């Protein structure tokens, strides 16, 4: 495929990890604009190329604001390298008729693996045990606290999309009792459905967060929810940090009001709550649940197919993306 003319330029914001990994291959296929390689501030770079940009390819940590969208009169397509699209101004895209697509199910299995891994680590204190052994205090500290059995635990999944279903399948195989809450009841799912988070948490020992961050889910997991979960309850979050009220989560963990947490995402990334560093019942990872060799390769193929379709005026969304034409 030859490099498209300037009229079909694609602005890269981030850049996404997959772009850095496959930059040579991407650049051979498409006419990408790379603002981080120039000394210009982003707004000046965008202004210079505003008439040529028809698409944006962005990472999860690069906001696509109304201001950016309004400065690009020819913009027709925004493609995120992430599943979540809360960093994109969907209202402005809808107003302009701009299609927004995400990474679809590319990361679903890898993120589900991370959720299960975090949960096992928290309940079995694997990271805590690792620290104890490496600090050479094991022979002197023989009163290591008891851990918990995972099988038989009631796991409430918040959001039963592709990732949530993969998590449920894995945990059910391990003997967990699964239930869920979601925007709507899934007609072909046999797990018990609770219409509200409060009903779900009242029937759960563990909460796994795998829903999208929206106005409705922002701080949905608050102190009230955590206190119902209780002193032996565990929260795992592989979705978006702001779904949990992080300040209240830290308070509950420090006070021992919930049993533990496994967090791959945070409210103000890349900043971590330092109060959690010394807690053996908390496992923290740097938002890399989806970062595997296989996922990056699959995402590269996925992005290429969607950009090819866009530049050829073919229908979008047929390569695994979810489209967001509304709010």
Our answer to whether residue 269 is catalytic in this structure is yes
Describe the crossing of helices 108-124 and 162-173 by its angle, rounded to 10 degrees. 40
Active-site annotation holder among 49, 218, 269, 297 = 269
Q: Does the domain at residues 108-284 carry the CATH identifier 3.40.50.720?
A: yes
Which residues are 80's β-sheet partners? Answer: 58
Average pLDDT rounded to a whole number, residues 230-236: 97
Q: Which of 54, 87, 166, 287 is catalytic?
A: 287
Domain boundaries, the chain: 6-106+292-311, 108-284
- Please state the rounded mean pLDDT for residues 207-217: 94
Picking from 123, 185, 177, the residue whose alpha carbon sits closest to that of residue 159 is 185
For the stretch 214-218, contacts whose Cβ atoms lie closer than 8 Å and that sit 24 or more positions apart, written own/partner, are: 214/86, 217/243, 218/242, 218/243
Looking at residue 143, its pLDDT comes to 73
- For the segment 267-274, the average pLDDT, to the nearest whole number, is 91
In the block, tokens 């961050």 appear at 213
Q: Do 117 and 86 contact (CB within 8 A), yes or no?
A: no
Please state, as a whole number, how many other Cβ atoms lie within 10 Å of the Cβ of residue 43.
12
Confidence of residue 2 (pLDDT cuts 50, 70, 90): very low
What separation in angstroms does the CA of 183 have from each of 223, 237, 327? 22, 18, 14
* Each residue's pLDDT tens digit, 53-96: 999 999 988 999 999 999 999 999 999 998 889 999 999 999 99
Q: Which of 87, 166, 240, 302 is catalytic?
A: 240
- Name the pTM for this structure: 0.86
Is residue 271 predicted with pLDDT exceeding 60? yes
CA distances 219 to 19, 47, 102, 290, 302, Å, are 31, 36, 23, 23, 32
> Is 142 part of the annotated catalytic residue set?
no
Residue 291: predicted pLDDT = 84
> What pLDDT, on the 0 to 100 scale, is given for residue 317?
55
The fold for domain 6-106+292-311 equals: Rossmann fold (3.40.50)
Structure tokens that stand for 57 in this block: 């390819």
More confident residue, 107 or 253: 253
Say whether 108-284 and 6-106+292-311 share the same fold: yes
Show the beta-strand stretches assigned E in 20-132: 32-33, 53-58, 77-80, 99-101
| pLDDT computed for residue 5 by the predictor | 44
Mean pLDDT of the chain: 91
Angle in degrees, CA 293, 296, 297, rounded to 5: 85
Q: Is 96 a catalytic residue?
A: no
Coil vs helix vs strand at 28: helix
Alpha-carbon span 12 to 58, nearest angstrom: 6
Q: What is the pLDDT of residues 179-202, one digit of tens each?
A: 999 999 999 999 999 999 999 999
In tens, the pLDDT along 111-145 reads: 999 999 999 999 999 999 999 889 888 877 667 78
User: pLDDT band at residue 319, thresholds of 50, 70 and 90?
Assistant: very low
């Amino acid at each position: 495929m030859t490099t498209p003319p300037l009229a079909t330029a694609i602005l890269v914001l981030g850049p996404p990890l997959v772009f850095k990994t496959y930059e040579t291959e991407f650049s051979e296929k498409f006419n990408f604009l790379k603002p981080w390689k120039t000394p210009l501030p982003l707004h000046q770079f965008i202004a210079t190329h505003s008439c040529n940009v028809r698409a944006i390819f962005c990472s999860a940590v690069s906001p696509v604001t109304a201001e950016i969208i309004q400065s690009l009169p020819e913009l027709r397509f925004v493609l995120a390298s992430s599943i979540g699209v809360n960093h994109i101004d969907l209202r402005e895209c809808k107003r302009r008729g701009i299609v927004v697509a995400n990474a679809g199910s590319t990361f679903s299995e890898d993120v589900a693996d991370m959720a299960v891994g975090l949960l096992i680590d928290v309940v079995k204190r694997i990271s805590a045990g690792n620290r104890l052994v490496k600090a050479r205090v094991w022979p002197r500290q023989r009163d290591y606290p008891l851990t918990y059995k995972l099988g038989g635990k009631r796991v409430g999944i918040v959001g039963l999309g592709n990732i949530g279903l993969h998590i449920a399948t894995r945990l059910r195989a391990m003997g967990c009792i699964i239930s869920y809450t979601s925007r709507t009841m899934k007609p072909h799912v046999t797990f018990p459905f609770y219409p509200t988070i409060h009903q779900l948490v009242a029937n759960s020992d563990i909460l796994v967060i795998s829903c999208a961050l929206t106005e409705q889910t922002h701080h949905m997991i608050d102190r009230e929810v955590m206190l119902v979960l209780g002193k032996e309850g565990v929260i795992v979050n592989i979705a978006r940090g702001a779904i949990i009220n992080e300040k209240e989560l830290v308070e509950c963990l420090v006070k021992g009001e919930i049993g533990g947490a496994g967090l791959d995402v945070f409210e103000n990334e890349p900043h971590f709550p330092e109060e959690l560093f010394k807690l053996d019942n908390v496992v923290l990872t740097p938002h890399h649940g989806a970062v595997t060799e296989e996922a990056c390769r699959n995402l590269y193929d996925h992005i290429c197919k969607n950009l090819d379709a866009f530049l050829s005026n073919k229908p979008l969304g047929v390569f695994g993306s979810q489209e967001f034409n509304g709010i």
